[in-house]
Amino acid sequence: MSDFTPITEALIAGDMDTLTGLVKAALDQGTSASDILSQGLIKGMGIVGERMETGEMFIPEVLMSAHCMGTAVETLSPLLAEGEASSAGRVVIGTVKGDLHDIGKNLVVMMMESVGFEVTDLGVDVDTDTFLKAIEEHKPQIVGLSALLTTTMPMMRDTVEKISETVDRSALKIMVGGAPVDQAFADEIGADAYASDAGSASKLAKALLN
């Protein structure tokens, strides 16, 4: 199979039935699972991220595309050789201590997984020690911190400080995001990057590692 456009378009449209049929047809024609994944699906989720960023796609549409992506990857996973579905990188992510909001973080997780990252989601109300233990255990290249309340922004600052004191920052990038957070605050607390939404977060994560 040389043209993966129909697969990409079905994914962007969130058309599960069409996408499933196209993926199965491509496999029947002898197309490799890794080519379908990289040239059709991951490419499609990259476009979804861009369209979310520009406001052309909204969260319900993005969720449909991400759901389609997950189902297609389940079909392909048994056919991918060990290491064939190369990871874009490892990410540890969580909403900081005192904050119980997770919708934005969950969308970031879905978008990052859709473009090939291995993501460890620590959930909400995550204290600094839990982040540090996860960094030690999973050896991520990126740590993502989310805060949806202005009252938890100081905890984000503390977490970045503790990570910086404990971990070699030359091998670890810290990304921050959430409604009250902006680029100026990210710069002030020493984060490497700020993402305004899930679409830009996945693109930014890839850029940080290149």
Residue 55, phi-psi category: left (phi > 0), alpha (psi -120 to 50), beta (remainder): left
* pTM across the whole model: 0.80
Domains and CATH numbers, the chain: 5-79 (1.10.1240.10), 89-209 (3.40.50.280)
Q: Which residue has the tokens 């693109």?
A: 203
More confident residue, 114 or 2: 114
Whole-angstrom Cα distance, residue 146 to residue 152? 9
pLDDT band for position 82 (50/70/90)? low
Whole-angstrom Cα distance, residue 204 to residue 164? 20
Whole-angstrom Cα distance, residue 125 to residue 133? 15
pLDDT of residue 86: 61
What 3-state DSSP class applies to 57? coil
Cα dihedral: 7, 33, 85, 11 (round 10): 10
- Comparing CA positions, the residue from 205, 209, 198 lying closest to residue 111 is 198
- Comparing CA positions, the residue from 76, 77, 95, 89 lying closest to residue 115 is 89
Mean pLDDT of the chain: 92
**Strand partners of residue 94:** 145
Q: Mean pLDDT over residues 78-90, rounded?
A: 73
pLDDT of residue 210: 84
Q: What is the pLDDT of residues 8-55, one digit of tens each?
A: 999 999 999 999 999 999 999 999 998 999 899 999 998 998 899 899
Q: What is the pLDDT of residues 141-181, one digit of tens each?
A: 999 999 999 999 999 999 999 999 999 999 999 999 999 99
Q: Are 163 and 132 in contact (CB under 8 A)?
A: yes
Residue 184 pLDDT > 70? yes
